[in-house]
Structure 1
């Protein structure tokens, strides 16, 4: 063996030894920003719970959760490209398709809305059902939000058009509670734990309950898939690996919810979610457990019910052709073992 060859082999051996001694760089986790349409709402609890359980990290995702008080604001952030995904109501996917925007739900978190139409105790004697909504002021989280869609539909089922009552955007949580207590709204649509807080203080009564399958079918005529994880179709087509990881993290979270008690779930949540009244938070969570999906799949007939609700009054959807198959996909949840 000549000297040059020996020197070359020796150099390679030394280089190999040095490289072997160097730390192997870890693959950077994929960054995904998710906007939640009100992160404290129990309808969207799976987002924070997935983070608390460490499921995003286990999937190799670097997830940042942000919050907007209304789903319509979260939707706008997605369309602007400021975030990659939204945890919000599925009905936005139908509404946006009629405006030329392609949004696809990749995991269904709630098989029912989880919403409650509350009437203030002061207004209750003259407000026994949505048939009494004429001339009243009804609170919603935001104009164009899912609560706005549902409020108008519930009234329309009693022959009352949206011109016959006033809608006031009052947000959620404390701002909703204040609007109810101050008499700025006669009734309003909200979620847990806000509903349980107002019921406990005696400031409100239940008018329409869509936290359960039975209540939702009675109010809307069928299952109404609501809280979901949705993304822009253009992002989905180029980020299928990230979409699969998100779906897996959320399906694992749904399985955790469906196999643990409200007390056990509450233990996993940050303390500021229940503050000084953990018992009330657990009670509200117990009220909410029936709404969560078990597998993240779109419930049969669900998209048709949502389309029916929106077509009933929403001028964007009424009379328009909607390809429901493009508004959701079970491809990713089906791949979760």
Structure 2
């Protein structure tokens, strides 16, 4: 089923169900903010390994190219959960919406700021992006948040550069090749594809803890499974099963090689260049959480990034304890 059709059907179901939720059929629909992105690999891998079925869950995975679109599907009640960046939970609390992360996939963003090969002589760091066009997956997306923060760290205002939503995967690659963006933020395997072809080079690397601490000042929990608090209160058994499935998936990732993990993924994820996919995944392995728990100081780092420029968050009191819970991953152990 196509994501747009699924969203329309889900939204129509929500009109006849309880306010804010689709009809409770026993199926859990999870919207992923770009299902082929390696930052969200645990979602598809859990399905491929049969972990949802082992838990007795009927899970359907859908995909939207940007996390902000997935978030909107959740708020509309068209889906029960989202695999997206944790920072949405903080942003939404500032708007009076209660969303909680229940499993953390990535202890770092896994994002890479790439500079177009044609601009690499003029852009040596984020301090040089004044007057340039920067690509993000979508306006209001996590890549947009991070791009603004990295530029602000170098003294630039958001009015000093342009931000262009270019999506992910092939649409991001096209934006680079067509010179519509001077630099942009993306994930694996897109980053490795562009680096290998020579169309782009790394400007800021947040695939590792070392690179993330250098860029953002601390651990930055990113990809995660989050749900509406109202749904969670009524579906704790299902949440616990989802957490178990994903904790087992993260353990699998941390005990297998990139080549072994690739063998479990659908062939259309790597197409005709399996070796490149394996290399990109190998580069990404440090970002995955070993146990699904929220890093101790992670929420504070994320809040710091958002509060630096996001008008929804800046100056507001955010109760970080309501944006995540380790309850279900701790049970899964």
With normalisation by structure 2, the TM-score equals: 0.92
1:42 to 20, 38, 62: 38
Q: How far has the Cα of 1:31 moved from its partner?
A: 1.1
Structure 1 distance, partners of 2:35, 2:306, is 25
Equivalent residue pairs, number:
310
Contact 1:71–1:89 at 8 Å: present in 2 too?
yes
Q: Which residue of 2 aligns with 1:88?
A: 84
Structure 2 distance, partners of 1:67, 1:250, is 18
Deviations 1:228-280 (A, max 9, x none): 00000000000000000000000000000000000000000000000000000
**What secondary structure sits across from 1:125 in the alignment?**
coil
Q: Which residue of 2 aligns with 1:310?
A: 306
**What secondary structure sits across from 1:335 in the alignment?**
helix
Q: Which residue of 2 aligns with 1:321?
A: 317
1:214 to 177, 200, 210: 210
The structure having more radius of gyration, on CA atoms, is 1
1:230 to 226, 232, 242: 226
Is it true that 1:193 corresponds to 2:169 in the alignment?
no
Q: Which residue of 2 aligns with 1:162?
A: 158
Q: Which residue of 2 aligns with 1:66?
A: 62
Structure 2 distance, partners of 1:255, 1:164, is 43
Q: Which residue of 2 aligns with 1:100?
A: 96
Q: Which residue of 2 aligns with 1:130?
A: 126
Structure 1 distance, partners of 2:157, 2:218, is 22
Structure 2 distance, partners of 1:320, 1:117, is 29
Q: Which residue of 2 aligns with 1:144?
A: 140
Q: How far has the Cα of 1:30 moved from its partner?
A: 3.5
Deviations 1:203-244 (A, max 9, x none): 000000000000000000000000000000000000000000
Deviations 1:296-316 (A, max 9, x none): 000010000000000000000
**What secondary structure sits across from 2:202 in the alignment?**
strand
Q: Which residue of 2 aligns with 1:172?
A: 168
Is it true that 1:268 corresponds to 2:264 in the alignment?
yes
Structure 2 distance, partners of 1:254, 1:166, is 37
**What secondary structure sits across from 1:148 in the alignment?**
helix
Structure 1 distance, partners of 2:237, 2:56, is 11
Is it true that 1:110 corresponds to 2:106 in the alignment?
yes
Runs of 5+ consecutive residues of structure 1 not aligned to the other structure: 1-28
Structure 2 distance, partners of 1:77, 1:30, is 18
Contact 1:30–1:242 at 8 Å: present in 2 too?
no
1:292 to 288, 298, 305: 288
With normalisation by structure 1, the TM-score equals: 0.91
Contact 1:30–1:60 at 8 Å: present in 2 too?
no
Pairwise CA RMSD: 0.9
Structure 2 distance, partners of 1:185, 1:320, is 33
Runs of 5+ consecutive residues of structure 2 not aligned to the other structure: 1-24
Structure 2 distance, partners of 1:270, 1:175, is 21
How do 1:238-257 residues align onto structure 2 when only pairs under 5 Å count?
Answer: 238-257=234-253
Deviations 1:97-148 (A, max 9, x none): 0000000000000000000000001000000000001000000000000000
